Structure 1
Amino acid sequence: MNMIKSMAPHSWRQKPLWLAMMAALTAPVFAADNTSNIDLDQVPVTGNPLGVASDDMVVPVSVIGGRELSLRRQGTLGETLNGIPGVTSTQFGPNASRPIIRGMDGERVRIMQNGVGVLDASSLSFDHAVGIDPLIIEQIDVVRGPAALLYGGSAMGGVVNAIDHRIPKESLDGYTGRAEARFGGPDNTRNGAAVMDVGNGTFALHADVYSRETSNLEIPGYAVSKRKSRADGTPRDSKGNGKLNNSDALANGGALGAAWTFDTGYLGVSYADSNNNYGTVAEDSVRIDMQNKRLELAGEVRDLKGPLQKLKLRMAHTDYQHVELEDGVVGTTFKNRGMEGSLEATHAPLGKVNGVLGYQFQNTRFQALGEEAFVPSVVTQSQALYVYEELPIDKHKITFGGRLGETTVNSSADANFTQAFNNRFNPNSFALGGLYTIDDVWSVTANLSHNERAPSYFELYANGEHVATGQFEVGNTNLKKEESNGIDAQLKWKANGHSITLGAYATRFQNFIGLFDTGTTDPGSGLPVANFQAVPALFKGLELEGKFALNDEWALKLRGDYVHAKDTRNNDYLPRISPLRLGGGLDYHLGGWNARVDVLHAFKQNDVAENELKTNGYTNLSALVAYKLPVKYHVELFAKANNLLNDEIREHASFLKDISPAGARSILVGARADF
């Protein structure tokens, strides 16, 4: 998109964009009376293709959207979701962070955009950012636990589905939109976004644009931890003192979309272009310059006659590339280009049984070019058939389904990799679940699942120096498909504005594929050698979430989670597992005012893998105050304070926890508008 390309980094050309955003923020105050608004409810669209409410789902799903999402947005998808029960983040500095669900990350957490996979390179390396900027997301669904049945074998840990509404799905006669801008925080962020939809009742157009610029992250003291300095002699000021070296960023992008809407469905297309240039933190002289182009097609037809009642099509073509710049010179280039899609059909009820049949496919070509390319060029192709069914029995429900898949992973020979490999897998998954309604306020859900995952290209073929993790990684072409069996159960109570959910889960892996330190050193690079190996493993944990309406103005929220993960072969702890976390908050509403205070305490992590350092606990105290202006349309001003105790926050799940802490005490101010 030419308008996006013109947003050159480090240029005065940013100014027209900021003027447009601020104009958009004030426009609702004077908008015309004939404005038509769309009320987009926060209905989960992930985890159940039949569109039931989250309280009626067998699998645990968290939905964040609207005002709540706007107020908790961070610079990355991982940090935006961090703190949800069961969800942490990889936190490779402030610019690259993927969600971790129940101790599982990388390929086991499926990141999707509008129900179609994000084909970037973020699962390959922790310093690679996710190809989605939270500024343009309207809703995020998080499925905690195995979701391989509907979304592929890589969803053994869970699914994060970011929804942007770039393809309008509902009829619109008039216009609607939102805008927001914010300034401050520990990274001195200056960001903003504007979104607009217009339509005549039959055709609808969408446009959005965003920009985000940050400075080096302010931190409470030294970047290097005392433990690391004592362990290997790293100087404590080598990565910064008071500020984190090489942690600034500049990102921008936008999209255009259009759809034909009719009484029984829609058909639409969108095109998005985004750019992200950021420091990698691990190396002071290395930056990543990312470009991501995505073309989407989506459609749905409802109320069909005959055996099929609804058809839904989703497809996306992605052209992703990023270069790693070393002192401004291109060192390594990563490319991922491909297409993914699904066709899903809702069948007519078979007696009392309702369900869907689906076909899903993916075809990608990944390339790593340059001296530090530690994986070869790879073509991955996968396809699968799946079925999901529900049988209601009075106030109860039984769910069941299966998925049959085929995946091929083929590498190419080149100057760095002299041998080509071909691997083929048939990952299949099955699940049986149920919801039992005890009475009007109590219910229980349970889900049994068998999940299989084909090894990723880097688990199979990696063979080289990986500077981001500080290891020489070696893949294993003899890996078999990863298999696990799991159980997930929840006890729910809901009455008079109060609710509480207590969940427990356990997942046993027959052959958990992980990266394990061998204790040897590569003679060429001097880095420790780490091999991808398959070991038996057990993940188990607890999750708690509650909300209590104390009166019309005050509400109390509670949350907590705990993960315990071991290699059962040697009874060793697995690396980078988040410790026990407990949190709570008070929310106050009066007229146009809203204030809240929140605290999250992470305990010390002593259960560590071999060659892994322990991590101290921390307490993150944050606060928010917001005021809705007394004008016709929704315009809100807000201020957020984070890490009020100025604690040294190091996420144990982060590869960089000992050289890259979270931000220092800070205040961020902003404005948001919906019209």
Structure 2
Amino acid sequence: MLDPHRPLRARPLTPLLAAFTLAFSPAALADDRKTESTLSPLVVTANPLGSGDLAVPVTQLAGDALLLRDAGTLGEVLTGLPGVASTSFGPGASRPVIRGLDGDRILLLQNGTGALDASALSYDHAVAQDVAVAERIEIVRGPAALLYGGNAIGGVVNTLDNRIPSAQVDGVSGAARLEYGGAANERVAGARVDAGNGDYAVHVDLFGRRSDDLRIPGYAWSDRQRAGQGSYQPPQHEHGHEEGEHGHEAPEPESPYGRLPNSDSRAHGGAFGVSRTWDDGHLGFAYSGYRSNYGSVAEEDVRLDLKQDRFSLAFAKNGLAGPFTGIKADLAYTDYDHQELHGSEVGTTFGNRGYDARIEGRHAAVGALTGVVGVQFGQTRFSALGEEAFVPNTETQKIALFVLEQWQAATAQFSVGGRIDYSSLSPNASDNRRFKNSESRSFTAGSLSAGVVQPLAGGWSLAGNAAYTERAPSQYELYANGEHVATGTFERGDPDAGKEKAGSLDAALRYQAGADRLSLGGYYSHFANFIALERTGRWCHSHGDHDHCGKVQREGESPEYAYEGVPAKLYGFELDSNWRVYQHAAQSLDLQLWGDVTRAEQRNTGEPLPRIPPMRVAGAIVYGWGALSLRAELQHAAEQDRVPRNDTPSDAYTVANVALSYRVRHGATDWTAYLRGDNLGNEEIRYASSLTRDIAPQGRRSARAGLAVQF
């Protein structure tokens, strides 16, 4: 919403009504500002040194590019970017999938510190953040464990929102937006204000989002699911199947049509932050709150009620004398919990309370060598209370040391670094005898990385990165033992699981000249101990603290899955490009082409890993004429038939989208009116990366309109 590079100064607030008059004024066409698809400011997520090109592939969303991708979940905002897909457990919950990896292999950050929610535990758990008031999102594709630990073995998504002001503010500035539409009649409102006197700065933001049940182009259940061959196993409760009026088993339900039941949602939140700012640093504090209530698309009588409170501290100081020229410290404490409601009754309550702290020091140059050394530490207390808890309460403590060095040799830029992480997990069975044999584990994991960027003639360059990464198993990979109702499975952890180890290579050919750019790259990851959730062939049903399992399915039983370390490999290619094909005065025409393909399989058997996105290709034309911008896009996803045993393929689809925006300046206030059309061909879209693809498709043809203002 707010361009981070615009000076923060006092601006008069113009009434919203003026935008509707000005948005279609011919005089506004004199404004020749362009709508940028991406920005290229300092990339704090991938390189705290903030200098030179990056060896790892990074995508940034900010300004209009972020505004026009708005959605109710972080996964849906980012899906469709090169290398990025979505888990999509209905409209209420989704996480990003990067190069086929999800869960605890993708680290979600807020302003550089861990989000600390429970979204990695289960696909029906929402990410506790909203992009309505975000300034920028940075996505690192590929291993970023060097800086952020083993949970970034697949990538990092960092949301930045300026809730702790880091720059001096003199006057008042801000932004606001209203939006309506989409396949779920979504209503969005958000506003933010920054004010200061040059020494102190204050930030306030608020947002609200509400949507109805998602409208879909046909049946909720796929053809395979309606034929009894779908991939999704309906959740089973203690009572097993529902019974009819006379005690007989009720008939199988029919698939909903036209709407996805229990897919409505509502969320709201806000933040207050204050900073003492200097020319060369800042010290600040912020509180933010997030509340959400949404339905589970897997069970029509289940809702999830989520709340998160977050307290953050940040300090930075540059221009120091001595061995360190700059220091940066961030700390965030998070209090998170959500309840899974069956009607009016609370089924299970999940909680996660803890802190994440990070201190970085940039040392003085040693010849051509510059670098950062740092320490990161934290503690979380995870809890799961209720009949459907399938993991024990667990306390996790972590501490890590890391270093990143960078230097210029001739024309090439080199980087190298390492990190060592120590973590300990201590389960507490409480009164649940199911977890009485769970024992504490500790791990020491190491990561190494080396990268190079070599400029070539005429705007071309080569970039390469090699990494070795270790990841300690999570609490659910170690201690899971029970029915995971949301996924319709019976899960068992491996209490003796070892570290996940991977060697990765990433290389890209890049070009940049004016508006023209190209990135064509490939990657390969070799896992020695990929912790996979494997089907055992048994069927199980729990009765309190004991289970009934067998080779033949009986009423009320779920398929048993167990975590197991297997050798695996992931590899693929990515293309991202923009070409200016026409430029005259205030008019321009760009052609954008992108695509990606990921292959992932076990090395010993050749069996594909589950929920891997298919090959995707896309093209778009972007026309600009002064304040007017029009973008028309066509995306095609191929059929995904490389699936594990006992899984089902996903069909190909082609989706057409269009976005129109109009920007005007009225005095010192900037307005943007926009209109977006999604899935114009009314395609039935089912993501291969979604666990619920056979019961919950994406939305039907829809349009949404919005108005944003900066002052």
Question: How many Å separate the matches in 2 of 1:361 and 1:396?
Answer: 34
Question: How many Å separate the matches in 2 of 1:487 and 1:226?
Answer: 40
Q: CA, structure 1 residues 326+69, in 2 after alignment: closer, same or farther (shift >3 Å)? A: same
Name the residue aligned to 1:216: 213
* Structure 2 residues not aligned, in runs of 5+: 1-12, 22-38, 235-250, 543-555
Deviation, structure 1 residue 493: 1.3
Equivalent residues of 1:223, 1:237 under 8 A apart:
no
- Secondary structure at the aligned position of 1:440 is classed as helix
Equivalent residues of 1:225, 1:236 under 8 A apart:
no
2:688 to 652, 661, 669: 652
Name the residue aligned to 1:499: 517
Name the residue aligned to 1:626: 661
Question: Once the two structures are superposed, what CA deviation does each residue of 1:32-65 show, in whole Å capped at 9, x if it has no partner?
Answer: xxxxxxxx97432111110135xx0010000111
Equivalent residues of 1:25, 1:180 under 8 A apart:
no
Equivalent residues of 1:222, 1:237 under 8 A apart:
no
- Secondary structure at the aligned position of 2:666 is classed as coil
Name the residue aligned to 2:703: 667
Question: Once the two structures are superposed, what CA deviation does each residue of 1:562-600 show, in whole Å capped at 9, x if it has no partner?
Answer: 000001121101110000000010111112211110111
**Counterpart amino acid of 1:499?**
R
* Structure 1 residues not aligned, in runs of 5+: 1-21, 31-39
Equivalent residues of 1:43, 1:63 under 8 A apart:
no
Deviation, structure 1 residue 240: 1.9
Deviation, structure 1 residue 86: 0.4
Query: Is 1:614 the equivalent of 2:613?
Result: no
Name the residue aligned to 1:538: 569
**Counterpart amino acid of 2:416?**
F
Question: How many Å separate the matches in 1 of 2:18 and 2:514?
Answer: 39
Equivalent residues of 2:438, 2:495 under 8 A apart:
no
Deviation, structure 1 residue 436: 1.0
Question: How many Å separate the matches in 1 of 2:624 and 2:94?
Answer: 32
Name the residue aligned to 2:635: 600
Question: How many Å separate the matches in 2 of 1:94 and 1:24?
Answer: 33
1:566 to 570, 590, 601: 601
Name the residue aligned to 1:163: 160
Deviation, structure 1 residue 23: 8.2
Equivalent residues of 1:374, 1:466 under 8 A apart:
yes
1:21-32 residue pairs with structure 2 within 5 A?
25=16
- Secondary structure at the aligned position of 1:468 is classed as helix
Name the residue aligned to 1:374: 390
1:75 to 72, 76, 79: 72
Question: Once the two structures are superposed, what CA deviation does each residue of 1:104-136 show, in whole Å capped at 9, x if it has no partner?
Answer: 000000000000010000000000000111112
Equivalent residues of 1:42, 1:63 under 8 A apart:
no
Name the residue aligned to 1:390: 406
Which deviates further from its counterpart, 314-323 or 432-441?
A: 432-441
Deviation, structure 1 residue 421: 1.3
Query: Is 1:88 the equivalent of 2:106?
Result: no
1:579 to 614, 620, 625: 614
Name the residue aligned to 1:125: 122
Deviation, structure 1 residue 496: 3.8
Q: CA, structure 1 residues 29+582, in 2 after alignment: closer, same or farther (shift >3 Å)? A: closer
- Secondary structure at the aligned position of 1:150 is classed as helix
- Secondary structure at the aligned position of 1:648 is classed as coil
Name the residue aligned to 2:440: 422
Question: How many Å separate the matches in 1 of 2:15 and 2:561?
Answer: 51
Aligned CA-pair RMSD? 1.8
- Secondary structure at the aligned position of 1:94 is classed as coil
Question: Once the two structures are superposed, what CA deviation does each residue of 1:418-460 show, in whole Å capped at 9, x if it has no partner?
Answer: 2341000001000111111122311101111000000000000
Question: How many Å separate the matches in 1 of 2:482 and 2:111?
Answer: 35
Question: How many Å separate the matches in 2 of 1:132 and 1:239?
Answer: 32
Q: CA, structure 1 residues 24+660, in 2 after alignment: closer, same or farther (shift >3 Å)? A: farther
Query: Is 1:591 the equivalent of 2:630?
Result: no
Name the residue aligned to 1:527: 558
**Counterpart amino acid of 2:261?**
N
- Secondary structure at the aligned position of 1:629 is classed as strand
Equivalent residues of 1:42, 1:139 under 8 A apart:
no
Question: How many Å separate the matches in 2 of 1:23 and 1:213?
Answer: 26
- Secondary structure at the aligned position of 2:700 is classed as coil
Which deviates further from its counterpart, 505-514 or 490-499?
A: 490-499
1:429-508 residue pairs with structure 2 within 5 A?
429-508=447-526
**Counterpart amino acid of 1:389?**
E
Structure with the larger RCO, 1 or 2 (CA within 8 Å, 6+ apart): 2
1:131-530 residue pairs with structure 2 within 5 A?
131-232=128-229, 238-416=254-432, 417-524=435-542, 525-530=556-561
**Counterpart amino acid of 1:46?**
T
- Secondary structure at the aligned position of 2:595 is classed as strand
Deviation, structure 1 residue 68: 1.1
Deviation, structure 1 residue 228: 1.8
Equivalent residues of 1:378, 1:411 under 8 A apart:
yes
- Secondary structure at the aligned position of 1:195 is classed as strand
Deviation, structure 1 residue 350: 1.2
**Counterpart amino acid of 2:677?**
A
Deviation, structure 1 residue 229: 1.9
Equivalent residues of 1:75, 1:94 under 8 A apart:
yes
**Counterpart amino acid of 2:390?**
F
Query: Is 1:547 the equivalent of 2:578?
Result: yes
**Counterpart amino acid of 1:52?**
S
Deviation, structure 1 residue 495: 2.1
Q: What is the count of residue pairs matched by the alignment?
A: 644
